[in-house]
Structure 1
């Protein structure tokens, strides 16, 4: 695997680690910047009018961006084989259906989804669900009759469980109880794949169509016009929501990153070029930290000019190199970040939820810059280790996403170790350590699956 693909996997792995960490640290006692900006401690009550972002608000867009970058990479073989649009459509729809199922099954097979007053069975069943998913989504390298029988058995067992279990509501399996993040990914993946395929030879058209989508959403906020009616229409509310497609503003720029990775071959820089590349990575890190810290603290003017200065440093450093792909990442990232900052005061300030256009542009731009940072890290021993640690779980995102709720938490309850986990959540530093240990264990499990080549695929 090339270093540039490792950088993309590392970005995805970083997002997964952050996602799990954000959900497992102590609640209510840490500083506000350790949580979603719109859900401050101690009550964590959602305040939709509160502007700003924290590091937690970056993990989901980074994952979406990496999903977009993976689209041209994953479809490269089909494109080269000239399979045609029907084959691409079938593959995209298959993935969409499997992700919708994944969203429904994983949400309702958690302990919380099974019962409001869980017993031993409600902790054992999620572990069994994890085992079922391991069979359902693992694709062996060669056709194996025994594995086909195992998969057929897993499908049968899954169907029986969904038919017989009462679940939390005691009304059985519900199509309206799903993991919202996975449901968003399913919708955006389908739309983004088709959008990319139809514009694969016209990247400027792909981006030029985004302002049209912006106009539809801005006009659709007012009832009584065709944009509003279009956005309100849904054939199946439990699996499709037009509001999810706003995240195309993050995913589609990611497809450009994937295309550039395919287009430009990796070159080995000289020692002098490595030094300047690392300086550019350092300046990109300043942009990342500045936009998180200063947008959260609402020092927007200082952040804007500091961002411009740091980006200028990036461009100055990269002028000393001949790495063709990196300037593309920098130019795209710089443009999107600055564009997002120009939109910052629009819609009441940058916010993840409800997501603002400033949020889409800033986070997509920062994702480009994080790729640049990972590229700069790969030329040092420590940097390569960091990239590898994130890249391993990043190659198995489905495992990492559900391992915490379906495997680790139930095992903590079954073994009684959950009491130690809860005690750690009562103090600030141990509350942070708890999250790091939990997220690290989940990522280590996903990394083990990667090392063993047990990939979960849709």
Structure 2
């Protein structure tokens, strides 16, 4: 099939054989909403504006609260994006001639770089250096520390010699080590391996273990599902006294790895199965842009583009209000109607989306059936229902993004999400280590705080900050400046 390419700004939007732009958009959506959720002001906002287990007005953790909000979706959406990307990246490398040993080296390198990122970034965050009333040096340290990350993580041109690239990266590591050796914290301590970003530590573990599992089970999907069964058995057994619990609760490197982190494989492993299907489809040039004549008559695609979003909204509202049966029934009806439209899948696009939606329906219904188990769905402490519901929701949200971007030629509309999804490390670090420090040092942040005391106005301020970050990351992406692990 001939590759069709469309130009959108400075981005080459490829409908076939290029990047999975819908997946990039999902990753961008996840990272930007993750950043937004972290800067929304506490106060008298509705409970659905925060983690369900940290409700207003006191925002005290309450594990008895059941249900999920949009804030509880952003992290599993990012994990899901990571899982889908693993088969895409490794298949591309293997097709280019990479051997299994090369992939193992890449996994080890990625694990090291992500772990370093998790530890270093947390050490240079302004609210870690000084929790309140930050002095100017704190903000300058946050900015300077972030700049040091560029020589470490920026993807340098392949035309540069290996020695030059390693020299630049080594200089970055040297600068980071010098900075870490000079910093002290409110408890008068210095550098500590235990001072790290827990989200990034979890991502590190998931990147390593899900990659290894995929390599072992690449052509054995049943075995990959068997890993989930074995993992579920370990988690359930660890809740009772005995050797499993004793083993599960120990770790040779507790600052880096805990067996409890493996629970997120319930999201990553299903995601790799979607990644396998997508990788196979992309080799055939799918998903492909619809001709104008087909676009006008593609009723099933228009329906799917709407129902995927509707299902997510119904789930969030229904589960938080504890209308579990009505929510399950409504979601089941919407999924059934959508899948019925793909019953006679003829084209490659139809078969791809049908397969993805079927897996999404399976995981979503499995999660909803398990909802009463463990007292109801919740993020903290996460339930089996949470893993499967969020996985299914991610699939049913990814498919509409692929339809809008790849089939309906909507890459320009979603370009901000796509470009941030292609540069997630900068997007994750950029708010606390650039946008907020710059706005604070210039006095803009202080002024905006004084005139945005109302909680909803504060939400608009948070959205504005997030848009600034998104535009900055998009600008860097257009200039091919990427951080890569």
TM-score bracket, normalised by the shorter chain, equals: over 0.9
Q: For 1:206 and 1:2, locate their aligned partners in 2 and report how far apart those are by CA, in whole Å.
A: 31
Query: Do the aligned partners of 1:188 and 1:245 also contact (CA within 8 Å) in 2?
Result: yes
Query: Do the aligned partners of 1:33 and 1:54 also contact (CA within 8 Å) in 2?
Result: yes
What does residue 18 of structure 1 align with?
Answer: 33
Q: For 1:193 and 1:337, locate their aligned partners in 2 and report how far apart those are by CA, in whole Å.
A: 24
Q: For 2:451 and 2:259, locate their aligned partners in 1 and report how far apart those are by CA, in whole Å.
A: 41
| 1:248-397 → structure 2 map (5 Å cutoff) | 248-264=265-281, 265=284, 266=286, 267-269=288-290, 270-271=294-295, 274-319=298-343, 321=345, 322=347, 323-378=350-405, 379-380=407-408, 383-397=410-424
What does residue 202 of structure 2 align with?
Answer: 184
Q: Aligned to 1:385, what secondary structure does the other structure show? A: coil
> Quick one: which of 236, 240, 249 aligns to 2:257?
240
- Larger deviation, residues 265-274 vs 343-352: 265-274
Query: Do the aligned partners of 1:26 and 1:434 also contact (CA within 8 Å) in 2?
Result: no
Q: For 1:108 and 1:240, locate their aligned partners in 2 and report how far apart those are by CA, in whole Å.
A: 19
What does residue 97 of structure 1 align with?
Answer: 112
Query: In the TM superposition, what is the alpha-carbon distance from 1:240 to its structure 2 partner?
Result: 0.6
Query: Do the aligned partners of 1:34 and 1:55 also contact (CA within 8 Å) in 2?
Result: yes
Q: For 1:351 and 1:94, locate their aligned partners in 2 and report how far apart those are by CA, in whole Å.
A: 34
Query: In the TM superposition, what is the alpha-carbon distance from 1:246 to its structure 2 partner?
Result: 0.3
RMSD in angstroms over aligned alpha carbons?
1.8
Q: Aligned to 1:41, what secondary structure does the other structure show? A: coil
| 1:65-76 → structure 2 map (5 Å cutoff) | 65-76=80-91
> Quick one: which of 230, 246, 269 aligns to 1:212?
230
- CA distance change for structure 1 residues 415 and 331 in 2, over 3 Å: closer, same or farther? same
What does residue 191 of structure 2 align with?
Answer: 173
Query: In the TM superposition, what is the alpha-carbon distance from 1:320 to its structure 2 partner?
Result: 5.8
Q: For 2:271 and 2:71, locate their aligned partners in 1 and report how far apart those are by CA, in whole Å.
A: 20
Query: In the TM superposition, what is the alpha-carbon distance from 1:206 to its structure 2 partner?
Result: 0.7
Query: Do the aligned partners of 1:277 and 1:318 also contact (CA within 8 Å) in 2?
Result: no
Query: Do the aligned partners of 1:281 and 1:314 also contact (CA within 8 Å) in 2?
Result: no
Unaligned runs of 5+ in 1: none
Q: Aligned to 2:61, what secondary structure does the other structure show? A: coil
Unaligned runs of 5+ in 2: 1-12
Q: TM-score, length-normalised on structure 2?
A: 0.90
Query: Do the aligned partners of 1:7 and 1:387 also contact (CA within 8 Å) in 2?
Result: no
Query: Do the aligned partners of 2:77 and 2:394 also contact (CA within 8 Å) in 1?
Result: yes
The size of the alignment, in residue pairs, is 456
Q: For 2:447 and 2:343, locate their aligned partners in 1 and report how far apart those are by CA, in whole Å.
A: 53
What does residue 137 of structure 2 align with?
Answer: 121
Query: Do the aligned partners of 2:123 and 2:196 also contact (CA within 8 Å) in 1?
Result: yes
Query: In the TM superposition, what is the alpha-carbon distance from 1:184 to its structure 2 partner?
Result: 0.4
- Larger deviation, residues 391-400 vs 134-143: 134-143
